[in-house]
Amino acid sequence: MSAMLSEESRIANVSGAVLTGGASSRMGQDKARMMVGGVPSATRVVRVLESVVSEVLVVGGDPPDVASARFVPDGEGPDSSLRGLTSALAAATAPRLLVVATDMPLITADLLLLLIAHPEAEAVVPCVDDRPQPLCALYDRAAALECATARLSAGDLALRSVLDGLETRFVTQSDLAKVDPRGLALTNVNTPDALQHVEEWLEQGG
């Protein structure tokens, strides 16, 4: 069962942001608006973030309207995930920021709370098969904004470069398994085949 905080107990010193920009070239449709279990992907991610934190942003692109979240347009710079991350960091008001990509519609509150509870660092990043997931991560807003802005200005768009410039703690797959035993929460739905697999899993009661 996923964790769910009451409105009064939602975490105020952490903001949340859904990154909804991107070309969606492999998917062939806007990933923020693609229907997952009958709900737009971006809306699903917003709802999970809202169950954990008080402020939620929807950043970039042309996402579905989610009245409870604040829309933030992408800032200047090359079209990239780094631009979205930088825009989110600049717009958030809390000292730490949970960032989740819109193509992770199976993200859970339990996993997000695990990131928040992890020993603090400038970035707390889960790893899947030894691959860091910087688009589902917790950032120290001030430190990450300074680093991300510098990388964006220099044209160094690799998110791994941002992690290399921060004090980063990685959450291992074994730790993730404690809250996500099926290993599904960080599924990237970025192709039609991936979407079909997720829909089949949801239809089976996932």
Query: In the predicted model, what is the mean pLDDT of residues 2-18?
Result: 78
**The predicted structure's pLDDT at residue 199:** 87
Residue 91 predicted with pLDDT over 50: yes
- In tens, the pLDDT along 66-89 reads 878 999 999 999 999 999 999 999
pTM here is 0.91
- CATH number assigned to the domain covering 7-203: 3.90.550.10
- In tens, the pLDDT along 15-70 reads 999 999 765 656 667 788 999 999 999 999 999 999 999 999 999 988 888 878 99
- In tens, the pLDDT along 106-163 reads 999 999 999 999 999 999 999 999 899 999 999 999 999 999 999 999 999 999 999 9
**The predicted structure's pLDDT at residue 23:** 58
Residue 202 predicted with pLDDT over 50: yes
Cβ neighbours of residue 199 closer than 8 Å, sequence gap 6 or more: 36, 37
Query: In the predicted model, what is the mean pLDDT of residues 166-195?
Result: 93
In contact, 12 and 97? CB cutoff 8 Å: no
